Structure 1
Amino acid sequence: MRLVVNRSGFDEETYFTYSYSPLRDEDGTVRGVLDIATETTESVVEGRRLRLLTELSRRLHGARDVEDVGRVAAGLLRLAPDDVAAADVHFLDGDDLLLLATTRAREGVDAVDGALLHTAARGGAPVVVDGSLVCPLRKSGESAAVGVAVLEAGPMRPLDEGFQAFLELLANNLGAALGAAVRRDREVGALRHVAETLQLSMLPGVTGMADVVARYRPKIGGLAVGGDWYDAVRLGAGRTAVVVGDCVGHGLGAAAVMGQLRSALRAFVLDGRTPSDAITSLDAFADELTGAECATVFCGVVDRAAGTLTYSSAGHVPGLLLHPDGGTVWLEGSGDVPLTVPGPGVRSDVTVPFADADTLVLFTDGLVEHPPASIGTGLDALADAVRTIGPGAPLDDLADGLLSRLLPAGGRDDVALVVHRPGR
């Protein structure tokens, strides 16, 4: 049973167990009750604190980054006011201490002097100030601090050596988690740089081709690399091949597959093959390439002399044709199956009129597929955006405008986009 008593000059949380026994006289009549009270405060409080430490360690183990460490810590400590009345977690960013998380009702209320925080951040020993423990947060096995915690003791237990040791254990857990998050952030940053370098090397800009503009946007989070790709190739005699493709998955593996498919298709179109013949050859190549299963591709060849666009698709989202008057036409009718998937027949080409003032818009599904909305809704939004930006817009403005209008803040897929206007 929990009792609040004042035996040391303040209201104190205590716990007791009670055992009642009847007191009988010689004939068995109950004349009274014997009450034996045993204080169990230490065992109850220690058990509660042990559970808090265990749960904090478990939750922090799943923290993804520095910000997540702060959210997890504040969320749990906010539920333990008997032991931690308030908590501030500061992160050391260079020479600056940033408030990462707090359980206080109002941020900006300084629990302790800033100079004391910086002393702790420079490796000072834990110190108790006005009922709060100010403790440096250190990586496991290291002396350098990665932050500082201010842990205000619960007001209904004396801040004795045992209480301080408990708060220091909390700080040690926070320091270990924060240090691990910093290390992961640095490792992911290094891998992301490698991934971005790889992606850019595989998807070079279309410099020297003023009539073609390409954009690539990685998915948000994780390694900034994926399987979406684009290409634009001069074929001579006023002919230009424009391609987009999408390999299943993300990461370095998908990027490696993408690079091989892109190079192979470029070789096939430079060899003079039609879009459908080039994709048929790519299909055979993909059959021998692990990880290329179900990749999609759209390949179009613009012939300025003939005034035509000939295209073929392997399970890819349709391209969009924008006319000078603002009208749009979806490039369908060649919706063959993705690469490596058995189909009902041979792949085919579709040829449509294509004037110098027409604009070809090719993209991957990350631009138009945003669950829970259907992909049809996304395609409608794309057509609306193309018409709104208009056929007279410079290609750079058209490409950037489509990305800004259609991509959500936290995109879950990478996106490749190519726009081509021969008479730009």
Structure 2
Amino acid sequence: MTHTWQIITVVDAARARIATARLAADLGVSVVDRTRLVTALTEQLRQCLTKGGAWRLALGTTPPSRGEKQARLWVTVRPDPDERPQEEPTWQAQVPAPERGGRADTVAVRASPPALAEALFSADDDTARVLDALTEQEALVAFHREELHQTNQGVLALHAELDAAGQAQRELFAAERAARTEAEEARRRLTFLADASAALTASLNHGEIVRLLPELLTPTYARTADVWLLGDDEAEPSHAPRPAAAVLAARTGRPQYAAPQPGGLPGVDDRPPSALHPTRPLLCLPLSARQVPLGVITLTPPGDRWDPDDAVMLIELARRAAIAIDNAQRFEHSRDIAETLQRALLTELPATPGLQLAARYLPATHGLNIGGDWYDAFRQPDGSLIAVIGDVTGHGLHAAVMMSQLRTALRAYAVDGGSPGRLLTRLHLFLHHLQPDLYATAVIARFRPGEPVLTWAAAGHPPPVLRTPDGRVHTLDAKPGAMLGVPVQQEIEDHTAPLPPGSTLALYTDGLVERRAYGIDPGIERLAEAMSTLAVPDRNGGLEGAADGVLEPMLRDSEGEDDVCLLLCHVDGEIAENAGTAGEAPVP
């Protein structure tokens, strides 16, 4: 159903407006939509009246279209087609209409003033309802605004807490990284200190330690490193100029730092810059052991200055280096004393007609270079010559003293005569009663002038090796006696072997033939091979060269852990008619 009105005057416009409002109310249009529709229509009607002329307002409803549940109320305003038939509607609007139909009297509006006044007051009712709804909405908006404000405050507080937590976490991460870096630096310093200490203490040569120190420190912890040992004139003249800080460090035993600016290093005294090196900071660390100054190590920094923790580590390294140098110097002093004592205990070989003697003694390269290996050769009252070689168990001064006592006792017993076996038996009793916990091995050979027979006896010692004039080598391995000093009663037997002129006898200690890798028997075989290739000794010291010729191949694989002793005895004679086999030396 469609209703139309001709709008010419303001009364026509008011009637149309009132009819539209009533029909919208009758169709169940909501107060808000109705008010919006009526307000928009009023504005449009005001414009039409302003323009003047006749206008046609059409008002009606349309049924629900497909997909919609509600009908719609529509309104159009256009020029009156009777006057301007070609013009299109200038304005239109529509709103949902929940209720269908609408009473016919709804749109019948009288033009009397009472009717218009009543319609005006009815419009105010809609306005009041809208205002009430607006008030409710404003209250609801205010409530939500406050709720939103509280939420925003909570969000801001949460953001602040999250930011604070993030900052705290970042600080924790930074502290963790710093702690990890510090721990890594500490581990690096401790590792370097341990490795450097091991390298310094591995040597017992103080000169080698002094050379090693700068290599360890440069370039990581120092650009240059200079070691000054007090009283070491061989390394450097004592009158060489030294920085005042180094002299002060040696005198006071406290580390000194000489630079234009204070170093602030823990445990280090700050000093003015050195006159010798005014532009370079110097860190002078004393080398002291047993409260005795040994020297000073002077360092220049790898960069601008030292890290305080590095300085603490360098002070500790200097302390350990001083202990290593002190131990090396004390060892070298003891070694020199021991070697002097050892050489003093060795015998000058006697000159004997018809017999050449040559001896070699090589101390172990490890330890104090003093042990129990010994050799001796002397005449008996009957004119025979006793050659002996022995080995006291152990090393050090105790073994050397016992070796000296055994040598003296043997010479004393030999004055009474007696065979090699008898002499060894008496030495066995002597050592057993004198030192029950010390043992020795020995072999004694006796040479009689003009007698082509060798008499010998052994007590737990490697067997003698005899080279005859025909170039053959014999190992005299007849059953020996037990070691000297063992808690058993024994009579050591004598053994004999032919000794034609031109024969050479080798007496030796186990250091010459015994190796960890293959034992003693292969070593004896190598000695026999070396003896077989000897050149014929002559009376002009040829046996000395033969001794060196035996030692050279035997010591190629020596580890230097044991003393080596060798005694060669050569019986002079005319050169034999038949030379040795090919590759062998001529047989005398």
User: Given the two structures, how large is their TM-score scaled by the length of structure 2?
Assistant: 0.55
Separation of aligned partners in 1, 2:374 and 2:567: 10
Q: CA RMSD in A?
A: 3.8
Separation of aligned partners in 2, 1:95 and 1:198: 26
Deviation at 1:56, TM superposition (A): 5.0
- 500, 505, 510: which one pairs with 1:360? 505
Q: Which amino acid aligns with 1:198?
A: L
| SS of residue in 2 equivalent to 1:325 | coil
Cα 1:183–1:283 change in 2 (3 A) is: same
Separation of aligned partners in 1, 2:488 and 2:497: 24
Contact 2:469/2:501 (<8 A) preserved: no
Cα 1:414–1:97 change in 2 (3 A) is: closer
Show CA shifts across 1:216-260 (max 9, x none).
111002212100011101124441111011111100011111111
Matched with 1:213 is 358
Instruction: Tell whether 2:321 aligns with 1:178.
Output: yes
Equivalent residue runs for 1:183-198 within 5 Å = 183-198=326-341
Separation of aligned partners in 2, 1:418 and 1:88: 52
Instruction: Tell whether 2:563 aligns with 1:414.
Output: yes
Instruction: Tell whether 2:383 aligns with 1:250.
Output: no
Q: Which amino acid aligns with 1:371?
A: R
Contact 2:444/2:458 (<8 A) preserved: yes
Separation of aligned partners in 2, 1:90 and 1:416: 43
| SS of residue in 2 equivalent to 1:248 | strand
Instruction: Tell whether 2:379 aligns with 1:231.
Output: no
> How many residues matched?
370
Equivalent residue runs for 1:140-151 within 5 Å = 140=288, 145-149=295-299
Q: Which amino acid aligns with 2:552?
A: S
Matched with 1:349 is 494
Deviation at 1:96, TM superposition (A): 8.4
| SS of residue in 2 equivalent to 1:411 | coil
Contact 2:350/2:377 (<8 A) preserved: no
Matched with 1:403 is 551
Separation of aligned partners in 2, 1:255 and 1:341: 19
Show CA shifts across 1:349-399 (max 9, x none).
111111232111101000111221321221122112222233436111112
Instruction: Tell whether 2:480 aligns with 1:335.
Output: yes
Unaligned segments of structure 1, at least 5 residues: 1-23, 99-114, 154-158
Matched with 1:316 is 461
Q: Which amino acid aligns with 1:180?
A: I
| SS of residue in 1 equivalent to 2:502 | coil
Q: Which amino acid aligns with 1:170?
A: M
Contact 2:480/2:492 (<8 A) preserved: no
Equivalent residue runs for 1:1-400 within 5 Å = 35=166, 36-38=169-171, 39-40=174-175, 42-56=178-192, 63-65=201-203, 66=206, 67=208, 84=220, 90-92=226-228, 94=232, 125=257, 135-140=283-288, 145-149=295-299, 152=302, 163-209=306-352, 211-290=356-435, 293-341=438-486, 346-392=491-537, 394-400=542-548
Deviation at 1:167, TM superposition (A): 2.6
Cα 1:344–1:287 change in 2 (3 A) is: closer
Separation of aligned partners in 2, 1:248 and 1:182: 31
* Structure number having the greater strand percentage: 1
Show CA shifts across 1:16-68 (max 9, x none).
xxxxxxxx979x9xx98853212225544443444445455555665143446
Contact 2:422/2:491 (<8 A) preserved: no
Q: Which amino acid aligns with 2:337?
A: V
Deviation at 1:421, TM superposition (A): 1.5
Cα 1:143–1:381 change in 2 (3 A) is: closer
| SS of residue in 2 equivalent to 1:139 | strand
| SS of residue in 1 equivalent to 2:450 | coil
Cα 1:121–1:418 change in 2 (3 A) is: farther
Deviation at 1:170, TM superposition (A): 2.8
Q: Which has the higher contact order (CA 8 A, sep 6+)?
A: 1
Cα 1:304–1:133 change in 2 (3 A) is: farther
Matched with 2:579 is none
Cα 1:87–1:268 change in 2 (3 A) is: farther
Q: Which amino acid aligns with 1:399?
A: A
Show CA shifts across 1:150-191 (max 9, x none).
5636xxxxx66xx53223223222322222222222211221
Cα 1:229–1:205 change in 2 (3 A) is: same
Contact 1:133/1:167 (<8 A) preserved: no
Cα 1:190–1:50 change in 2 (3 A) is: same
Q: Quick check: which has more Rg, 1 or 2?
A: 2
Separation of aligned partners in 2, 1:144 and 1:335: 54
Contact 1:366/1:413 (<8 A) preserved: yes
Deviation at 1:138, TM superposition (A): 2.1
Separation of aligned partners in 1, 2:551 and 2:258: 50
Separation of aligned partners in 2, 1:273 and 1:143: 59
| SS of residue in 2 equivalent to 1:192 | helix
Q: Which amino acid aligns with 2:183?
A: G
Contact 1:97/1:118 (<8 A) preserved: no
**Alignment identity in percent?**
29
Deviation at 1:342, TM superposition (A): 5.3
Separation of aligned partners in 2, 1:60 and 1:283: 49
Separation of aligned partners in 2, 1:91 and 1:207: 50
Separation of aligned partners in 2, 1:49 and 1:133: 23
Q: Which amino acid aligns with 1:203?
A: L
Separation of aligned partners in 2, 1:97 and 1:197: 24
| SS of residue in 2 equivalent to 1:336 | coil
